[in-house]
Amino acid sequence: MQNVFAPLYKEYNKPMVIHNCADAPHWDLINKWDTKYYSYTFYPDKVNKGSKDHKYLIENYGKDVMFAGEVSPVVFLDNSPEGIQKIKADTVALQESVLNTLKENGMQSKYVISTGCEVPPKGPCDTVAAQTYTAAQTGPELFKKIIG
């Protein structure tokens, strides 16, 4: 695959993008393919299989790679009032942690909070909207507060 995709992206001057599906991380491809954008999900119970969180990724690859994801798509299935509130609270907590990690590593951006994979079929849109609107509403103020 490297001999097919990496040269093609270089030929057309496009950044290499990798999406990490499930718990089969492709961290070795970040440097090997000169990856510029990496989409992933963090599974806390799969750390022993290589799952990494934003703190590790920003610290080890953040200067060269933009990351998106972290959030397990399974959380988007629960659109109960409690589920929506949890998504909102988790989004704010993740924003704060990402911004603090970026600042600690001398960075200001290069991270997108999003579902780490596709939203499951028949996943309710209001859960995705809750994450999106929460990030949009709280992000600018948190950025000012944490990054400056």
pLDDT value, residue 26: 77
Give the CATH number for residue 49. Answer: 3.20.20.210
pLDDT value, residue 134: 97
Q: Please classify residue 26 by burial: count the beta carbons closer than 10 Å to its beta carbon, then call 0-12 exposed, 13-18 middle and 19+ buried.
A: middle
Q: What is the pLDDT of residues 104-130, one digit of tens each?
A: 999 998 899 888 888 888 889 999 999
Structure tokens at 79: 């659109």
Q: Which helix (H) or strand (E) holds 126?
A: helix 125-146
User: In total, how many domains does the chain have?
Assistant: 1
Q: Which helix (H) or strand (E) holds 140?
A: helix 125-146
Mean pLDDT of 73-83: 94
CB 111 within 8 A of CB 54: yes
DSSP for 87-115 reads HHHHHHHHHHHHHHHHHHTT-S--EEEEE
pLDDT value, residue 4: 73
Mean pLDDT of 48-60: 90
Pairing between strand 111-115 and 66-71? parallel
Q: Please classify residue 85 by burial: count the beta carbons closer than 10 Å to its beta carbon, then call 0-12 exposed, 13-18 middle and 19+ buried.
A: exposed
Residue 114 structural domain: 2-146
Kindly state the percentage of the chain with pLDDT values over 70.
Answer: 95
Mean pLDDT of the chain: 89
Neighbours of 88 (CB within 10 A): 18
pLDDT value, residue 78: 95
Q: What is the pLDDT of residues 8-53, one digit of tens each?
A: 878 888 888 888 876 666 788 888 888 889 998 888 888 888 888 9
Question: Rounded CA gap, 17 and 36, in Å?
Answer: 6
Question: Rounded CA gap, 93 and 90, in Å?
Answer: 5
